[in-house]
């Protein structure tokens, strides 16, 4: 093999890897185990994890513990949905194309945007794809992102921006956990391709999206909003507030917390960006007999068109996860979506009041809020002992909130659960306050 590729040794094969990152010894592997011993070892490792159904979880930060109805598993397990690969003769797969079409329709209605694609991998890659679209559209080299945008989305944007030949400038939050509109406007110049905000933002704050869009769109920069689809049940759609592109994470729509994935992302935009959008777009038509049918109208995957014309290189979209999303939305219905969002709104505000802590974002919230906890380590220690996950440590991503806790409320968190968390917060070192 070395001879076939034109090198003399394994060392020469790895010559381009810097010495500083090479392992200068043999790999320290333990002796081999029998199959039964491996099984027992892996079972012991798995037992160290605690899944969401084994505790009362207030952990969110982008992935949430929502109830998934049995109907979804029943439909997703059908072989015609579960097993197909990306169709290369798509019109043969009318059922799959109809799913794509119905998904696009649901996302367009939810976001208030006229066009949607048939899903992408997940939320952060949808954000990064929006950055690439902005580059193609404006030919500019700068992206501006609010620090209220999910940290993973900001990281994905920075990573992709290197390949785009672009830079990313972050805008701070105010003392009330919202995007600083004046700082956002000041960061935008004639070389800004796009402005990125999130609704609600990572701290759970409901942003003044219309005002942010005005500040962002004044110089021809595109305004990109990463939106929580369930919160859109009660919030004004981004498409009605001057947003050019709306993207987001779809895990909350019928997808479980499956060890961080898979889930799906959505991507909706103004009609003028139709031919620059990533992924696939299904359309509705009539055949020669006048019967309703579906076609794969646009494909920007580099496997389907000339690579230099492609705007997307994902090999297979998360079609099964997106199907779960559209089934979930159909199961909820328009009224059910509103009722679920209203329920989260009421319980979230009740929880923030019940904890009695200093709120980082005291304004409107829907599903999540941030508070300062004087004894954060102690709270986690007490909570773990009672099989409660109190939330997400904000200090991991926001050094200015080292004592910050992000608490998520879904319909699965009852008033009793909230009271239990409030009791744990009110204790000190196991002694009631």
Which pair of structure tokens corresponds to residue 158? 């920075």
CB 224 within 8 A of CB 107: no
Distance between CA atoms of residues 319 and 407, nearest Å? 30
> What is the C-alpha separation between 130 and 225, in angstroms, rounded?
10
pLDDT of residue 297: 84
How sure is the predictor about 208, in pLDDT bands with cuts at 50, 70 and 90?
Answer: very high
pLDDT band at 304 (very low <50, low <70, confident <90, very high): low
Query: How far apart (Å, rounded) are the C-alpha atoms in residues 116 and 323?
Result: 15
What distances in angstroms separate CA 12 from CA 19, 21, 99, 230, one per listed residue? Answer: 13, 16, 51, 54
Q: What is the pLDDT of residue 17?
A: 92
Tokens linked to 288: 């020669």
Residue 398 pLDDT greater than 60, yes or no: yes
**Dihedrals phi, psi of 351, to nearest 5 degrees:** -65, -45
Give residue for tokens 């990152």.
21
Residue closest to 424 by CA, chosen among 385, 369, 366, 367: 385
pLDDT at position 302 over 60 = no
Tell me the per-residue pLDDT of 147-172, one tens digit each, with 9 for 90 and over.
999 999 999 999 999 988 999 999 99
- Range 115-143 average pLDDT: 94
CA distance from start to end of the chain: 70
pLDDT of residue 430: 45
- The per-residue pLDDT for 89 is 73
Do 52-68+333-432 and 70-329 come out as alike in CATH topology?
no
Residue range 345-371: mean pLDDT, rounded = 97
Question: What's the pLDDT band for 317 if we cut at 50, 70, 90?
Answer: low
User: Please, which pLDDT band fits residue 433 given cuts at 50, 70 and 90?
Assistant: very low
At 123, list the tokens: 């939320």
Higher pLDDT: 85 or 39? It is: 39
pLDDT score, position 91: 80
> CATH number of the domain at 52-68+333-432, please?
3.90.1150.10
When computed from its CA atoms, the radius of gyration of the chain, rounded to whole angstroms, is 24
Asked if pLDDT for residue 185 goes beyond 50, the answer is yes
Report d(CA 409, CA 346) in Å as an integer. 10
Q: Tens of pLDDT along 52-105? A: 888 999 999 999 999 999 999 999 999 888 887 776 677 878 888 899 999 999
Secondary structure of the chain in the HEC alphabet?
CHHHHCCCCHHHHCCCCCHHHCCCCCCCCCCCCCHHHHHHHHHHHHHCCCCHHHCEECCCCCCCCCCCCHHHHHHHCCHHHHCCCCCCCHHHCHHHHHHHHHHHHHHHHHHCCCEECCCECCHHHHHHHHHHHHHHHHCCCEEEEECCCCHHHHHHHHHHHHHHCCEEEEECECCCCCECHHHHHHHCCCCEEEEEEEECCCCCECCCHHHHHHHHHCCCCEEEEEECCCHHHCCCCHHHCCCCEEEEECCCCCCCCCCCCCCCEEEEECHHHHHHCCCEEEEEEECCCCCEEEEEEEECECCCCCHHHCCECCCCCCHHHHHHHHHHHHHHHHHHHHHHHHHHHHHHHHHHHHHCCEECCCCCECCEEEEECCCHHHHHHHHHHCCEECCEEHHHCCHHHCCEEEEECCCCCCHHHHHHHHHHHHEECCEEC
What's the CATH code, domain 70-329? Answer: 3.40.640.10
Going from N- to C-terminal start, the domains of the chain cover 52-68+333-432, 70-329
Under the banding of pLDDT at 50, 70 and 90, the label for residue 429 is very low
Percent of the chain with pLDDT over 90: 76
* Residue 276 to residues 48, 67, 105, 192, 264, Cα–Cα distance (Å): 46, 35, 19, 18, 20
- pTM of the shown model: 0.89
């Amino acid at each position: 093999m070395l001879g076939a590729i034109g090198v003399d040794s394994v060392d020469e094969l790895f010559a381009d890897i810097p010495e500083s990152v090479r392992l200068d010894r043999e790999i320290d592997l333990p002796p081999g185990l029998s199959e039964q011993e491996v099984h027992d070892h892996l079972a012991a490792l798995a037992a160290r994890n605690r899944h969401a159904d084994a505790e009362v979880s207030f952990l969110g930060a982008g992935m949430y513990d929502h109830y998934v109805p049995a109907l979804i598993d029943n439909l997703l397990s059908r072989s015609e949905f579960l097993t197909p690969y990306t169709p290369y003769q798509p019109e043969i797969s009318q059922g799959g194309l109809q799913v794509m079409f119905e998904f696009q329709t649901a996302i367009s209605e939810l976001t208030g945007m006229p066009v949607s694609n048939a899903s992408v991998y997940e939320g952060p890659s949808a954000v990064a794809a929006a950055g690439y679209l902005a580059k193609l559209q404006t030919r500019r080299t700068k992206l501006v992102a609010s620090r209220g945008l999910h940290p993973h989305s900001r990281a994905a944007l920075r990573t992709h921006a290197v390949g785009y030949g672009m830079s990313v400038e972050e805008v701070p939050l105010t003392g009330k956990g919202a995007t600083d509109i004046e700082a956002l406007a000041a960061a935008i110049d004639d070389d800004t391709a796009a402005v990125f905000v999130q609704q609600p933002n990572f701290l759970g704050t409901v942003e003044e999206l219309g005002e942010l869009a005005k500040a962002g769109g004044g110089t021809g920069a595109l305004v990109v909003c990463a939106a929580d689809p369930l919160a859109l049940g009660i919030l004004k759609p981004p498409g009605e507030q001057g947003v050019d592109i709306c993207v987001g994470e779809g895990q909350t729509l019928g997808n479980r917390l499956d060890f961080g994935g898979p889930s799906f992302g959505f991507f909706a935009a103004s009609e003028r960006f139709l031919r620059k959008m990533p992924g696939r777009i299904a359309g509705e038509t009539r055949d020669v007999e006048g019967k309703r049918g579906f076609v794969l109208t646009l494909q920007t995957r580099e496997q389907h068109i000339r690579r230099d014309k492609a705007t997307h290189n994902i090999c297979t979209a998360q079609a099964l996860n997106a199907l779960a999303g559209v089934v979930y939305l159909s199961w909820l219905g328009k009224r059910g979506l509103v009722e679920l969002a209203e329920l989260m709104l009421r319980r979230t505000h009740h929880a923030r009041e019940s904890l009695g802590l200093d709120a980082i974002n005291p304004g409107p919230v829907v599903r999540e809020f941030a508070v300062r906890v004087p004894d954060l380590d102690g709270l986690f220690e007490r909570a773990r002992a009672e099989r409660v996950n109190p939330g997400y440590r904000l200090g991991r991503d926001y050094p200015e909130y080292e004592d910050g806790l992000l608490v998520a409320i879904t319909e699965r968190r009852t008033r009793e659960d909230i009271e239990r968390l409030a009791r744990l917060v009110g204790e000190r070192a196991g002694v009631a306050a």
